Structure 1
Amino acid sequence: MKKRIILTISLISMIVLLAGCSQIKQPITAESTGPWNEYIVYPLSLFITKVADALGGNYGLSIIIVTLIIRLAILPLMIKQIRSSKSMQALQPEMQELKKKYSSKDAATQQKLQQETMALFQKHGVNPLAGCFPLIIQMPILIGFYHAISRTREIAHHSFLWFNLGVHDPYYILPIVAGITTFIQQKMSMAGSPQQNPQMAMMLWIMPIMIVVFAINFPAALSLYWVVGNLFMIAQTYFIKGPELKQAKSAGGAKK
């Protein structure tokens, strides 16, 4: 069931991403057509532009503010997703017992396993899909914001701090910070988990490296977006998972 859920989310995310990839190099304007452009990318692009106008044309500061506003807007969804994940995690021992009890692969036994598993969910008031819906809602917004930054041509003609928003950071500071913050955020998210499979441990290192490579080649505006988003996620994870992080740190110190 879990694999099917993950596959469904991945498929939906891929469809949403591909829906806009064909137009990634086309400027986003009020004349841009299609639901993806009209209802997601252009409104976000307009939001960035209006905030920049209010700040005297400072598009770098506008990207920071809009990123924080969007992250705050989807924060309730993130909290719901985390709580659902914790609930499912708490049921893992009982689910493992059910799998041992109904270990036979015949259809009747597997059907009984599904029934018992659903009964377990109902008993504890857990919906296995509850953690998926917030993710499905978040993905179009975050991908749309990525497209809005990439396709809003006004952004490329402005600078912020030491870099031009339309080209990569000449000193590679933003890409490195993006990679470091990605690593920290993922490490904090994994803290307190009862078990870590090799794939997750591998992604802890692969994702930051990929982010650095992408950030080196992408406009600095996108790197700025990644850094701000990562810093928000780090703060969010700290406040939501504070006790778990302290326990994980204590356990690590005890092992030493």
Structure 2
Amino acid sequence: MIRKLGLAAMMVTLLILLTGCFELDEPITSESEGFWNTYFVYPLSWLVIYFADMFNDNYGIAIIIVTILLRTLILPLMIKQTKSAKAMQAIQPEMQKLREKYSAKDQKTQQKLQQETMKMFQERGVNPLAGCLPLFIQMPILLAFYQAIMRTEEIGGHTFLWFALDAPDPILLPVIAGVTTFIQQKMMMVTDNPQMKILLYMMPIMIFVFAMFFPAALTLYWVVGNIFMIVQTYFITGPNVGGKKEAAEAGGKKK
């Protein structure tokens, strides 16, 4: 899970860097050329405009609907990620015992630890990398959605609730984005250790800072996506994937 959160942080940072590598001043239309524009950016832009037209030019509602559609599209993968996190939590006591058994730092002992860990993963049907795929799928979607928002001229000048969609919201929406990110990560937290706690707080802070500079329309996408994940995780595994009760029960069964 630590690697997943670290990877997520790296991907968000990469997203920020990549946004400067595209021509964002060019409006996206049906005439836009290139594989990226044709199959990623324009379809999302078209969907936003389509739903906005259905709701009297309410682009905020349109973005919420498109966000839910995108999240529903990758829902099977996200469910797999959530269940993978729960499975990893269930074997944490056994993994800790292996670490204690092979605590020596020499190369031979560490190789034996890796072999025993992989053997346990296979016996339990746990894939430690199963939760990474949704992150890689979300990356191009988020980047394409960012471009769709930036390059869809129709969004300009529209507001939703208290904020303008084409400009950053000064404080409230970024705070909501940071808080919902924290809740989502907390619910998905597999193990309680200092490194995990650092990442648990680092990711929401990153999202908060980025949201202060990104158009509010993109932050709205993050908030709705976070809420979707929170609800999904709650109904699949309960309020905490890595609950101490489950860990204790898992450890008790082995005794």
Q: TM-score range by the shorter chain?
A: 0.7 to 0.9
Match of 2:221 in 1: 225
Aligned ranges for residues 178-197 of structure 1 at < 5 Å?
Answer: 178-190=177-189, 193=190, 195-197=191-193
Contact between 2:28 and 2:148, CA under 8 Å: does it hold in 1? yes
Q: What per-residue deviation string (whole Å, max 9, x for no partner) do you get for residues 32-79 of structure 1?
A: 444433332222122212222233322111001111111122222111
Match of 1:175 in 2: 174
Given the superposition, is the C-alpha separation of residues 8 and 208 from structure 1 closer, same or farther in structure 2, using an over 3 Å criterion? closer
Amino acid at match of 1:159: T
Match of 1:214 in 2: 210
**SS at 1:166 equivalent:** coil
**SS at 1:217 equivalent:** coil
By how many angstroms is 1:19 displaced? 4.8
Q: TM-score, normalised by structure 1?
A: 0.76
By how many angstroms is 1:6 displaced? 7.6
Aligned ranges for residues 63-102 of structure 1 at < 5 Å?
Answer: 63-102=63-102
**SS at 2:40 equivalent:** helix
Q: Does 1:201 align with 2:200?
A: no
**SS at 2:127 equivalent:** coil
Given the superposition, is the C-alpha separation of residues 114 and 211 from structure 1 closer, same or farther in structure 2, using an over 3 Å criterion? closer
Cα separation, 1, equivalents of 2:129 and 2:108: 24
Contact between 2:187 and 2:239, CA under 8 Å: does it hold in 1? no
Aligned residues: 243
Q: In terms of mean alpha carbon deviation, does 37-46 or 101-110 score higher?
A: 101-110
By how many angstroms is 1:106 displaced? 4.7
Contact between 2:157 and 2:165, CA under 8 Å: does it hold in 1? yes
The sequence identity of aligned pairs, in percent, is 59
Contact between 1:165 and 1:219, CA under 8 Å: does it hold in 2? yes
Given the superposition, is the C-alpha separation of residues 143 and 119 from structure 1 closer, same or farther in structure 2, using an over 3 Å criterion? same
Q: TM-score, normalised by structure 2?
A: 0.76
* Two-structure CA RMSD over aligned residues (Å): 3.4
By how many angstroms is 1:29 displaced? 3.1
User: Which consecutive unaligned segments of at least 5 residues does structure 2 have?
Assistant: 246-255
By how many angstroms is 1:214 displaced? 3.1
By how many angstroms is 1:130 displaced? 1.9
Cα separation, 2, equivalents of 1:180 and 1:123: 37
Match of 1:254 in 2: none
Amino acid at match of 2:185: Q
